[in-house]
A and B are shown apart, each in its own frame.
Chain A
Amino acid sequence: MSKQSKNLTPTKDPSIDLDAEFQASNIQEVLEKLDQELIGLIPVKTRIRETAALLLVDRVRKQMGLSAGAPSLHMCFTGNPGTGKTTVALRMAEILHRLGYVREGHLVSVTRDDLVGQYIGHTAPKTKEVIKKAMGGVLFIDEAYYLYKPENERDYGAESIEILLQTMENNREDLVVILAGYKDRMDKFFHSNPGMRSRIAHHIDFPDYGPDELVAIAKLMLESQNYCFSSAGEEAFGKYIRLRMKSEHFANARSVRNALDRARLRQANRLFSGTKKSLSKTDLITLEAEDILASRVFLESAVDSEPNTKNKK
């Protein structure tokens, strides 16, 4: 079959409806969901769209007998904290599953602790166990640069990387590996592990969010928690975000989430200590401007070191 189709001047050319294939894969639904639920991130979405198109075309080609081998889909996500790397990885697993590239479509999220052992001979079985769990799905390695610690020559991270490389090469159709981390550190990591770099075909950089995008994200988050801003509240949050972005330890969407959690706290406190004893549904779901404006960011708008902001280093 494949030999025949290699002849590129066939007498009768069977055609396959790409649209019908597209419909059948339900991929549109996933991409739309991606558009709705992920604000901004244009380069990321473009790359996902391209990947989806490639896989779809590949599938059609396979039906025609034109095989090209499974494309390598190992990826590297770089970006600042809270730019949505993990969220996109989760979505990626689903997309790849819909397109039939991975069989199960589950995501196994690990960090250095899950891969690297504590004594000689501990690392290999540990890494292999994680790889086995991720087979048929996506292995997401968060903070991947921690795997390699050049300052400690007795560190077992290198062994783990070696096993990973081997599996990434040999079990390409069983497993997709996604590495994630901050841009500068990942660059350093790849610099000292050139084998890793060359085996990862897709390097996707996650840009920081703009203030309007962050407000949109906040609204989405509130919606999923059955809250909403009053119009004054939204305005106050816009101001808050602009101030917060300037302060240190700003972690994009993660900071937004923490800010919303604190606003909820203040809202509850306001309702509790308020004089109004009979509350309507609107009272319960609305975050007012005063819930936002009570934030320390407004008081000391220069430097703000919120201790409970969960920042990864």
Chain B
Amino acid sequence: MMTNPGNILTQGQFSFLPPLTDKQISTQLKYALKNGWAIGIEYTDDPHPRNTYWEMFGNPMFDLKDPAGILMEINSCRKTFPNHYIRVTAFNSTRGVESPTMSYIVNRPKKEPGFGLVRHEGSGRCISYTIHSYATDEPEAERY
């Protein structure tokens, strides 16, 4: 793919950059905590762009002051799901906003097969297009 030379999933922030180091993740977490956003850790093995809701790893973390605790949790998630996508989301609960304000991937499978284009021919030779993750051909937990 010309547009994605690394052949990696590009969802969320920093996804075109090299993977974040733990120190860089801490700095980003610190920024979120400074703004009073609650941080959640989520994982999935079905990274379709329309799959918005990933599984939560533990509860979202409120009232934290220091990123060390979150990093601890990220590392335990990595240990549990070494070959899943793991992302960190920061949720802004301000009235009227109430939505994630940050989201970035902190763990990827070693091999990311990517997506294939699926053409579906409808009536009148009308073609509808969608994408399909190669990984999801396998059953859950056997992907990647």
Chain A interface (Cβ < 8 Å from any Cβ of B): 103-104, 106, 125, 129, 131-133, 135-137, 171, 174-175
Q: When chains A and B are docked, how far (Å) is the Cα of A24 from the Cα of B27?
A: 26
A136 touching B72, Cβ below 8 Å: no
Residues in B whose Cβ lies below 8 Å from that of A132: 61, 64, 69-70, 72-73
Kindly list chain B residues whose C-beta atoms are within 8 Å of the C-beta of A171. 68, 72
Contact at B69–A137, with CB atoms within 8 Å? no
A135 with B69: CB separation less than 8 A: yes
Residues in A with CB closer than 8 Å to B5 are none
Question: Which residue of chain B has its CB nearest to the CB of A137?
Answer: B65
**Cβ of A136 and Cβ of B68 under 8 Å apart?**
yes
Q: Closest approach, in angstroms, between the C-beta of A4 and any C-beta of chain B?
A: 26
Q: Does B137 contact A (CB under 8 A)?
A: no
In the complex, whether B140 has a CB less than 8 A from a CB of chain A is: no
Interface of A, secondary structure class, is loop
User: Does B22 have its Cβ within 8 Å of any Cβ on chain A?
Assistant: no
Place the interface of chain B in its size category: 10 to 19
Instruction: Tell me, yes or no, whether B55 is within 8 Å of chain A by CB.
Output: no
User: How far in angstroms is the closest Cβ of chain B from A302?
Assistant: 49
* Chain B interface residues toward A at CB < 8 A: 58-59, 61, 63-70, 72-73
Contact partners of A135 in chain B: CB under 8 A? 64-69, 72
Q: B65–A104 contact, CB under 8 A?
A: yes
CB neighbours of B67 from chain A (8 A): 135-136
CA gap between A175 and B70 in the complex, in Å? 13
A241 to B15, CA, bound (A): 68
**CB neighbours of A175 from chain B (8 A):** 68
**Which of B58, B65, B69 contacts A131, CB < 8 Å?**
B69
Task: Tell me the bound Cα distance from A174 to B65 in angstroms.
Answer: 11
CA distance A131 to B68 in the complex (A): 10
Chain A residues positioned under 8 Å from B58 (CB to CB): 125
> Smallest CB–CB gap between A228 and chain B, Å?
38
Contact A133 B68 (CB under 8 A): no
A169 to chain B, nearest CB (A): 13
Q: How far is the CB of B57 from chain A (nearest CB, A)?
A: 12
Please, which residues of chain A bring their CB within 8 A of the CB of B59?
Answer: 125, 129
Residue among A125, A129, A132, A174 having the largest count of chain B Cβ atoms under 10 Å? A132
A171 to B72, CA, bound (A): 9
Q: Are A106 and B68 in contact (CB under 8 A)?
A: no
Give Cα A131–Cα B64 distance, bound, in whole angstroms.
10
Residues of B within 8 A of A104 (CB): 65-66
Taking CB atoms, residues of chain B closer than 8 Å to A103 are 66, 68
Q: Given contacts A133-B64, A135-B69, A136-B66, could you give 9 more A-B pairs where the C-beta distance is less than 8 Å?
A: A103-B66, A106-B65, A132-B61, A132-B72, A133-B63, A135-B67, A136-B68, A171-B72, A174-B68
For residue B65, which residues in chain A have a CB less than 8 angstroms away from its CB?
104, 106, 133, 135-137
B33 to chain A, nearest CB (A): 9
